[in-house]
Amino acid sequence: MSVQTLQFKAEVKQLLDLMIHSLYSHKEIFLRELLSNASDAIDKVRYESLTNTSIIEGDADWKIKIKADKSAGTLTISDNGIGMNEEDIVRSLGTIAHSGTKEFLQHLSSQQIKDHPELIGQFGVGFYSGFMVAEKIAVISRKAGEPKDKAVRWESKAEGTFEIESFERSSRGTDVILYLKEDEKHFLDEWEIRRIVKKYSDYIEHPICMDVEKDKKITEETLNSRKAIWLKDKSEITAEEYNEFYKHVSHDFTDPAKVIHFKAEGTSEFSALLFIPQKAPFDLFYKEYKIGPTLYVKRVQIMDHCEELLPVYLRFVKGVVESSDLPLNVSREILQSNRQIEVIKKNITKKVLDTLSEMKTAEYEKYVEFYNEFRKSLKEGLYVDQQRKDALRDLMLFESTRTERGKYTTLKNYVDGMKSGQEEIYYITGSSREELEKSPYLEAFKEKDYEVLFLLDEIDDFISHELEYQGKKVKSVTKGDIDIDKTRATQKKDAQKKYSKLIDLIKDVLKDDVKEVRFSSRLKDSACVLVADEGDMDQNMERILKAMGQSVPGGKRILELNPSHSLFESMNALFEKDKSHPTLKEYAGLLYDQALLLEGSKPKDPSNFAKLVAKLMVDNVKA
């Protein structure tokens, strides 16, 4: 094949520009990323060779080789891993196959990358970090099992294009050759290479080798200790080693919020080294987000992301699990029905939830930071994990009518602080606290000093019914009938009787819009509100479902009126004077439009609403 010049995808060009010009204080991580890629390539061929020994090609001496050539100004990282053919190399090095990447990059500024370099790792494109130190990169690769003349050479200066051509390589694997910039050639120094490997890649299982001169002889030396950190005793591992290993498995730049390292013994023996991140990755809820720790069996990496080892609501947990009880040829199909996997998953899930509970008790401020990042994911557990609902409820934090903005309470604190005679946990859903604090639905609760939880995430509408705690049921303040005050209950009953004929008129006028008109115990100052029936969907839920493109069955709601509001005394006086007075119908329509406005919706007919309000203003001025 002659040399072909191809264009990078637009998002790759943008990403390269951001990396080259924004990560100047993190340049040394390029070597960590390239060594990590080489290790992954060896893991892949090692795993595939379990069922296809021919791809080993007589070379099972797994190795990563670093070669520093000062005269040529090149640094080469070689591996005898799985390798790539032309199709692989174009797909892997010319495109970012990641949903949402293009949109994300459009909103990403150079300053954001500089302040949050962990964002780069989340794309899984560590290869491109080489351009921070290299003016040109060449890649020579041959895929395992393919002829030596089917190798391919890729080359680019990161200027928008790359070249590929056929090549010949006797052995499988990949060479990444970096032509270093003049001011980055200190990365060719032996001591610098040793320092970076020791700092970032000491625990990589495969030997990282380099030719060094000793006593005027060139010998190959292994630079890393090759000790699997998850199999070592905790007392032997420093915090820095944990942090660097976390960055290796997560492609994050920040240290983890929490390290969970334990060994299980008994009917199922396994080792686990798990990490809870500080920050949520931008793609945490994308369909392509990779869930689950890396699974090893007898020191062989079986899969990068074993989804079967963690429930989906703990998708943010990173790490490694190694088992000696599973077969080496285990597949995803086998994992789904394997009893050992189920035991491991149960143990890991409990350990993670216990760790979060301990953090909440002993390091509350740190837990709040974690919760602010990952609460939406954690809340999914209330919906899907029936066995652990009690533990998950205790991990939930809520703003409420008794907390300052940005501060939280818990379900336990709520129940402990319930007023005498209060039997239910009250909540209200919405998009912002500022909006909810002004809600007319809270008027009677404020007067009685009943605490109301503010549920502000979209998922809260789906899990609110799961917040029952210590036998106390939960109730929305926007649904069903509310009777929390005997005096107001009496007022409601008296008004219902006193204004029954007026109510019948309002019902008739609004029969196409509401299912019922009744007096309320939940209002103190506002004239009216719209509420959903106990088993119906409230307005916030309807709004969320419509925004998701879901079809929402049209259901009428209930118009509740304030029995102590002077408006109804005036309307009733007009009604008794002239039951067919046209203004009464106008008032009924205005009441409905007012209720729509109070819940954040538009009036049924905005133009007519504006005309009626203007007419009332004119009448008031004349009077």
Block mean pLDDT (10 aa), the chain, length 623:
80 69 70 89 90 89 96 97 92 62 52 50 65 94 94 91 93 97 96 91 89 89 90 91 89 91 87 95 83 84 86 95 79 73 93 98 97 95 93 97 96 95 93 92 93 94 92 93 85 91 94 93 92 77 68 81 92 90 90 90 89 85 75
Task: Give CATH 1.20.120.790 domain extents, the chain.
Answer: 487-532+552-622
Which CATH code fits 229-362? 3.30.230.80
The answer to whether 179 touches 138, Cβ cutoff 8 Å, is yes
Integer Cα distance of 16 and 1 in angstroms: 27
pLDDT tens digit sequence for 365-389: 999 999 999 999 999 999 899 899 9
> Which residue shows structure tokens 């686990």?
272
464 CB-near residues (< 8 Å, 6+ apart): 427, 429, 455, 474, 476
Q: What tokens does 387 get?
A: 């066995």
Which among 421, 428, 444 has a CA at the least distance from the CA of 564? 444
pLDDT the model gives residue 122: 47
pLDDT the model gives residue 112: 52
pLDDT the model gives residue 200: 80
pLDDT the model gives residue 123: 46
79 CB-near residues (< 8 Å, 6+ apart): 38, 39, 41, 42, 63, 64, 65, 173, 174
- Per the DSSP assignment, residues forming a β-bridge with 517 are 559
The number of CA neighbours under 13 Å toward the Cβ of 367 is: 21
Q: What tokens does 277 get?
A: 């991140």
Instruction: Please give the CATH architecture assigned to the domain spanning 4-222.
Output: 2-Layer Sandwich (3.30)
Task: Give CATH 3.30.565.10 domain extents, the chain.
Answer: 4-222
pLDDT the model gives residue 141: 96
333 CB-near residues (< 8 Å, 6+ apart): none
In angstroms, the Cα distances linking 135 to 88, 103, 180, 263 are: 23, 28, 6, 46
Dihedral sign for Cα atoms in the order 105, 109, 114, 119: negative
pTM to 2 decimal places: 0.75
In angstroms, the Cα distances linking 327 to 56, 256, 301, 502 are: 20, 31, 12, 77
> Which residue shows structure tokens 């003349």?
149
pLDDT the model gives residue 111: 47
**Is 487-532+552-622 in CATH node 1.20.120.790?**
yes
pLDDT the model gives residue 121: 47
- Per the DSSP assignment, residues forming a β-bridge with 202 are none
pLDDT the model gives residue 462: 87
